[in-house]
Chain A
Amino acid sequence: MSQKQQGVATFAAVNGDAAMKKVLGIQRSDVIAELTASKLKGRGGAGFPVGIKWNLAAAAQSDQRYVVCNADEGEPGTFKDRVLLTDVPNLVFAGMAIGGRVIGATKGVLYLRGEYAYLRRSLEDVLAARRKAGLLGKGILGSDLEFDIEIRMGSGAYICGEETALIESLEGNRGEPRNRPPFPVDTGFYGKPTIVNNVETFACVAAVLDKGSAWFAGFGTDKSSGFKLLSVSGDCARPGVYEYPLGVTIAQLLDDVGGTGAQAVQIGGASGVCVPSKDFGRKIAFEDVPTGGSVIVFGPDRDLLHIAHNFMEFFEEESCGQCTPCREGNERLREGIEMLQRGECPADYLNELVALGEVMQLASKCGLGQSSANAFLSIVANYREEILGRVYHGAARKE
């Protein structure tokens, strides 16, 4: 796969069950070595190396451990996990079972967002079929491995995609992130060592074990190995899910999806950055512009202030309210954007808003508040001329 592919063809060609068989035949440390050699980084957005995370959980002292698959895909513009769970659920479940074997967990949980409730029935059917085929439950594939997976539903909270908030939610609490450290690999679900990984990460694990770390690391760049699913939406002719080797340029991507002529592209969802057209030569990779998969194309006629406003409304709604910089900051930024829309924002105050955004990045407790100002800050940095001096043509949209 040197070029892009629409859909999830590379994943569909992976044999997850062969990967499980291979894992059962080798030492746990060998599996971790293979994952480390593949340089696979977490696909949810943060990009933590999978080999290190799993090794930490495997090494922690405990009588019980857990594998959690984060299917709380809530980042605006991201829908690749939905496609994976529809097209290749077996691969995801195989990846989770491999996780169970590696860290010594007997129980896995798929935390599925409430908005995807319509996927639950088919996923339960897949799990039932896997139990029947001896791929889940006791004595997997004739070995002494025991591992089963339970599906738990979210209830409409974006913040539960944050791993510690997700664990809080599983334990029956408000989805408020915990302080880290301790990290879930040490103190996770019920205080036990837990690996929380994205849906795509588990699919990648199965791919690495089936096809080998060299094959996987053959894609992408030195610091960003492998291929990545990108969910493309917005002003382009061919939106959808695409597979790319990491390191693809934004210009190449736009060319493929029919989005040439865009004035900007939002990479990484609402918490990502808004890349202006002059920077379309940049690469989608952990070392350049990272993303959990979201790519939103903004055509030449879009008002970036309106887009920033939409994102801030999103964060104001989805902030858990636990820490002050995020709870108050998002609201202040949203109000500031409305002042800009009315042409009533003094430049001094805009500078203060930028400083506030930087405070939020530094002082918020979790990734939501640390990244919610990103889009606003990148729009101010690149389009300052365009957003100041607006002439008021009517009420800013209130929703």
Chain B
Amino acid sequence: MLVTERQLIKDDVGKWVGEAGGNRSCLIPVLQNLQEKYHHISEYAMQEVADALGIHPVEVYSVVTFYAFLGEEYRGKFVIRLCRTISCDMANKDAVARQLETDLGIKFGESTKDGVFSLQWASCLGMCDQGPALLVNDRVFTRVTPDQVHEIIQACRGAFGPLAVQPTSREVRV
């Protein structure tokens, strides 16, 4: 049986809202899930979320458009967010930005035509002592140089390579 994306969205929204208890407080977690899985939050998805939570769709729209990590427009499978705040700026983020634009063939705020990459500016990523820093989805890369841009892009195409900073593996003790 052919399952349409609309049906998938409807099922997912129903499931996620149910799991989270179904009140307004779960709106943002549900939208975050939608963004991660579908790479954008369509009008249809917003209507579904509104119906599931019993709120007006404009309430959902107002939230989607407020947060930088949520959006109506389609974003690539890999969203590259380069920090443009002062410490990374002083660490020459402009050179990295220029190389990203050149290698991807897009400007900041745009996505590649194949839907694989989006390029965005980010405000301070909290890696100020190791700039320039960028995020690829939720992985962080630090001390990025222009010649590493190609490697990062290739690593994304190969679903990340050794360049990505692994969250430090620590033994969990209490």
* Residues of chain A at the chain B interface (Cβ within 8 Å): 17, 73-79, 81-82, 86, 90, 113-119, 121-122, 125-126, 129-130, 132-133, 135, 152-158, 169-175, 190, 231-235, 239-241, 266, 270, 296, 298, 302, 307, 310-311, 313-314, 317-318, 320, 397, 399
Q: A158-B124, A173-B24 are in contact. List 12 more A-B contacts (CB 8 A).
A: A17-B174, A77-B128, A78-B126, A118-B139, A152-B28, A155-B67, A155-B69, A156-B68, A172-B28, A175-B66, A296-B128, A399-B121
Q: Tell yes or no: B106 within 8 A of A by CB.
A: no
Chain B 59-117 residues near chain A, CB threshold 8 A: 62-63, 66-70, 84-87, 89-90, 94, 108
A190 and B26 CA atoms in complex are apart in Å by 13
Chain B 134-168 residues near chain A, CB threshold 8 A: 135, 138-140, 167-168
Q: Tell yes or no: B9 within 8 A of A by CB.
A: no
- State the Cβ distance, A213 to closest chain B Cβ, in Å: 25
Contact with A along B1-39 (1 / 0, CB 8 A): 000000000000000000000011111110110000000
List 4 tightest A-B contacts by C-beta distance, closest first.
A156-B68, A172-B27, A233-B128, A155-B67
Contacts of A117 in B (CB 8 A): 138
* B123 and A114 contacting across the interface, CB-CB below 8 Å: no
- State the Cβ distance, A339 to closest chain B Cβ, in Å: 20
- State the Cβ distance, A186 to closest chain B Cβ, in Å: 20
Contact with A along B30-52 (1 / 0, CB 8 A): 01100000000000000000000
Complex partner residue of B167 from A122, A133, A232, A320, CB under 8 angstroms: A122
* A174 and B123 contacting across the interface, CB-CB below 8 Å: no
* A155 and B70 contacting across the interface, CB-CB below 8 Å: yes
* A231 and B70 contacting across the interface, CB-CB below 8 Å: no
A66 and B14 CA atoms in complex are apart in Å by 28
Query: Number of B residues contacting the other chain (C-beta, 8 Å)?
Result: 46
Whether A115 contacts B108 in the complex (CB less than 8 A), given A174-B63, A314-B85, comes out as no
* A126 and B172 contacting across the interface, CB-CB below 8 Å: yes
Complex partner residue of A175 from B31, B32, B67, B173, CB under 8 angstroms: B67
* B122 and A115 contacting across the interface, CB-CB below 8 Å: yes
**Tally of contacts, chain A with chain B, CB under 8 A:** 146
* B89 and A125 contacting across the interface, CB-CB below 8 Å: no
A86 and B167 CA atoms in complex are apart in Å by 9
* A157 and B128 contacting across the interface, CB-CB below 8 Å: no
Contacts of A73 in B (CB 8 A): 126
Contacts of A169 in B (CB 8 A): 28
Whether A399 contacts B131 in the complex (CB less than 8 A), given A115-B122, A172-B26, comes out as no
- State the Cβ distance, A257 to closest chain B Cβ, in Å: 10
- State the Cβ distance, A82 to closest chain B Cβ, in Å: 5
* A76 and B26 contacting across the interface, CB-CB below 8 Å: no
Most buried by A among B29, B32, B124: B124
Closest to A109 in B: B25
Closest to B36 in A: A117
A77 and B91 CA atoms in complex are apart in Å by 13
Contacts of A310 in B (CB 8 A): 84-86, 89
* B86 and A296 contacting across the interface, CB-CB below 8 Å: yes
A311 and B31 CA atoms in complex are apart in Å by 30
- State the Cβ distance, A63 to closest chain B Cβ, in Å: 17
Complex partner residue of A79 from B27, B128, B173, CB under 8 angstroms: B128
Contacts of A298 in B (CB 8 A): 90
* B140 and A118 contacting across the interface, CB-CB below 8 Å: yes
A9 and B125 CA atoms in complex are apart in Å by 24
- State the Cβ distance, B33 to closest chain A Cβ, in Å: 10
A-B CB contact pairs (8 Å), 27 listed: A17-B174, A75-B124, A76-B128, A79-B126, A81-B126, A114-B69, A115-B122, A115-B126, A115-B135, A118-B138, A121-B167, A132-B174, A153-B32, A155-B28, A155-B69, A156-B69, A157-B66, A157-B67, A169-B28, A171-B25, A174-B62, A174-B63, A190-B25, A233-B87, A233-B129, A234-B90, A310-B84
Most buried by A among B28, B126, B138, B170: B126
Contacts of A75 in B (CB 8 A): 124
Closest to A236 in B: B129
Complex partner residue of B86 from A153, A171, A311, CB under 8 angstroms: A311
* A172 and B63 contacting across the interface, CB-CB below 8 Å: yes
Closest to B30 in A: A172
Contacts of A17 in B (CB 8 A): 174
Contacts of A175 in B (CB 8 A): 66-67
Most buried by B among A118, A235, A296: A118
* B123 and A317 contacting across the interface, CB-CB below 8 Å: yes
* B127 and A235 contacting across the interface, CB-CB below 8 Å: no
- State the Cβ distance, B28 to closest chain A Cβ, in Å: 6
Contacts of A314 in B (CB 8 A): 85, 123-124
Most buried by B among A156, A232, A234, A296: A156
* A157 and B28 contacting across the interface, CB-CB below 8 Å: no
A86 and B122 CA atoms in complex are apart in Å by 22
Contacts of B174 in A (CB 8 A): 17, 90, 126, 129-130, 132-133, 135
* A270 and B85 contacting across the interface, CB-CB below 8 Å: yes
A292 and B146 CA atoms in complex are apart in Å by 32
* B85 and A76 contacting across the interface, CB-CB below 8 Å: yes
Closest to B35 in A: A155
Contacts of B131 in A (CB 8 A): 233
